[in-house]
Amino acid sequence: MWTSLTGGVHPPEFKVTEKSPIETMPPPKRAVVPLVQHTGAPAKAIVKAQDAVKTGQKIAEAGGFISANIHSPISGTVSAIEIFTHPAGFSVECIVIDSDEKDEKIESESREVENLSPEQIIESIKSAGIVGLGGAAFPTHVKLSPPKDKKIEYAILNGCECEPYLTCDHRVMVEETEKVVAGFRLVMKGVGAGKGIIAVEDNKKDAIEKFRKIVKPTDNIEVVKLRTRYPQGAEKMLIKSLLRREVPSGKLPLDVGCVVQNVQTAYAIYEAVATGKPLYERVITVTGRVKEPKNVRVRIGTMVSQVIEFCGGMTEMVRLRSPNKVIMGGPMMGLAIPSLEIPIIKGTSGILILSERDARAFEPSNCIRCGSCARTCPMGLVPCMIMRLVEKGRTEELKEYRVLDCIECGTCAYGCPAHAYLVQNIKRGKGMVLSLSKK
């Protein structure tokens, strides 16, 4: 099968770390663990200052149906519950833990997964605090618990990693192939999917080969090579590319019989179900203007500054003049952070350091009606028209132009010759429509 999404772009890949094996960073001496690391309600702290904790111990429990447990990334003592800056820029309560430098882990035991029921699989995932590690950080146990009237036919493993610079998923696919596939089998069993698809873009040939060697005929799993194109990894795009099924406006993949999981999420699921290991670390890519670009396994709660230092620090070119941007994630959908003293969270896929020249901004000019944004929009929207409606405050018309369907991938802005602030205006438009619906 050889398919590709409609629209999209193919920016320079800059995947300089694709051959760099995963390195494990030592646990930090202090961990700052936000209570907001997932879509939904914040978790609620169940520890207090002066409490002793072990690595992997639950320190915050899900604060609602759509929420997730949080576990200690180090062993030591809770020194405080304080307000810190979240990677998204707002202030949030965090559990601060000072390490005893023993890294003493909670007791857990391995178990055979073949005989587990779907309910046991989902409960293990819930207990371990697994969330989607591709960026959205949606609680995985919720995603794998569709309503009884929603039959899941296909489970899809997302190995596209289409963002420029990022290679952490690629390395996990190559280095932990068997565990990734085992985790995907658990996903299929958990949702009752009869068919599985492992989707990987064609710039990751080594991962495709390894998957094809490990997948068994009895797995009912097909390994599919996709043309490299951004944003192929967006789940609605992936479903359309693979199955020609279009998720209707306002609906979810489960409404077309699908569930999509990221490869690192599948790996975390295997570790949680088979060994009882909670999600307290993940693999990220550290790249851009850094001396030693790497793929790093890092504990949640480690400060960005410490991760950069582990990679040799910033290059002289950047240090002589302050970096223009440090981005959590990739350049297309990542967030520029205001400080290096911000913690790694479950949804952090990378740290990208850009110089002033790399991140130079262009002054916007008037739209020339070229249609580039509409041609590249994978959702079939007309971003320039949405921008005009936002500027004129026409909220009702924004709904007609399906502003809420935008996935904020940035393809419209990437190719815009006028350098219009399309994504920013679309975000404003979403807020306008959501505010109107609450009245």
Is 232's pLDDT higher than 50? Answer: yes
**CB-CB contact of 271 with 130 (8 Å):** no
More confident residue, 272 or 3: 272
Phi, psi of 212 (to 5 degrees): -65, -25
Strands 22-24, 2-3: pairing is unpaired
Percent of the chain having pLDDT more than 70? Answer: 97
Is 355's pLDDT higher than 50? Answer: yes
The CB density around residue 114, as the number of other CB atoms within 10 Å, is: 7
Specify the pLDDT at position 321.
58
Q: What is the mean pLDDT of residues 13-26?
A: 98
Specify the pLDDT at position 3.
52
Does residue 378 have a cis peptide bond before it, meaning omega lies within 30 degrees of 0? Answer: no
Query: How far is the C-alpha of 1 from the C-alpha of 435, rounded, in Å?
Result: 43
Contacts of 111 (CB under 8 A, 6+ apart): 274, 276
Phi, psi of 241 (to 5 degrees): -65, -45
Residue 120 CA: distances (Å) to CA of 18, 191, 223, 240, 258 = 36, 12, 27, 31, 21
Residue type, 116: L
Specify the pLDDT at position 356.
78
pLDDT digits (tens, 9 = 90+) for 379-398: 999 999 999 999 999 999 99
pLDDT digits (tens, 9 = 90+) for 238-293: 999 999 999 999 899 999 999 999 999 999 999 999 999 999 999 999 999 999 99
Is 2's pLDDT higher than 60? Answer: no
Q: What is the mean pLDDT of residues 149-161?
A: 97
Specify the pLDDT at position 322.
60
The CB density around residue 128, as the number of other CB atoms within 10 Å, is: 27
Instruction: Output DSSP code: residue 87.
Output: T
> Which segments of the chain belong to CATH 3.40.50.11540?
2-15+112-275
Q: What is the mean pLDDT of residues 361-374?
A: 90
Is 38's pLDDT higher than 50? Answer: yes
More confident residue, 7 or 405: 405
What does the block give as tokens for 106? 């909670």
**CB-CB contact of 7 with 411 (8 Å):** yes
If you count them, how many residues does the chain have? 439
Q: What is the mean pLDDT of the chain?
A: 94
Is 1's pLDDT higher than 50? Answer: no
Q: Which CATH architecture has domain 2-15+112-275?
A: 3-Layer(aba) Sandwich (3.40)
Residue 411's DSSP bridge partners are: none
pLDDT band, very low/low/confident/very high, at 108 (cuts 50, 70, 90): confident
Query: How far is the C-alpha of 138 from the C-alpha of 259, rounded, in Å?
Result: 13
pTM for the model: 0.94
Specify the pLDDT at position 135.
79
> Exposure of 305 by Cβ count < 10 A (0-12 exposed, 13-18 middle, 19+ buried)?
middle
**CB-CB contact of 275 with 295 (8 Å):** no
Using only the alpha carbons of the chain, give its radius of gyration.
21
pLDDT digits (tens, 9 = 90+) for 300-341: 999 999 999 999 999 876 655 566 789 999 999 999 999 999
More confident residue, 156 or 1: 156
Specify the pLDDT at position 323.
61
Specify the pLDDT at position 398.
95
Is 437's pLDDT higher than 80? Answer: no
